[in-house]
Amino acid sequence: MGVNEIVAQIDEEIAQLQRARALLAGKAAPAPKKAASAPAAKKTVKKKKRNLTPEGRKRIAEAVRRRWAEQKKAAATS
């Protein structure tokens, strides 16, 4: 998510809050504005590939094996 997209999203939220405040105060709500950066939001953003270290893979594998062992033990006692 790029900076422009975040800013556009914040602007939308601000507009929604202003409309809600106007409704609660009894005033007519202003017309919602269209985001100027809408065409920029259609651009695809490449995400960085997340790589696991060998240690991280080993920890995950051990946790899965423990989980399977617990499930197998629970199934055997049932």
- What ranges do the domains of the chain cover? 1-47, 48-78
> What pTM was computed for the model?
0.37
The predicted-structure confidence for 12-33, as pLDDT tens digits, reads as follows 999 999 988 888 888 765 565 6
| Residue corresponding to tokens 């422009």 | 4
Position 23, amino acid: L
- Over the stretch 33-70, which tens digit does the pLDDT of each residue have? 665 555 555 667 788 888 999 999 999 999 999 999 99
For 74, counting Cβ atoms within 10 Å of its Cβ (0-12 exposed, 13-18 middle, 19+ buried), the class is: exposed
The two structure tokens encoding residue 45: 């953003």
Residue whose pair of structure tokens reads 């629970």 in the numeric block: 74
Task: Give the DSSP H or E segment for 36.
Answer: none
Select the more confidently predicted residue: 25 or 11.
Answer: 11
Q: What is the largest CA-CA distance in the chain?
A: 67
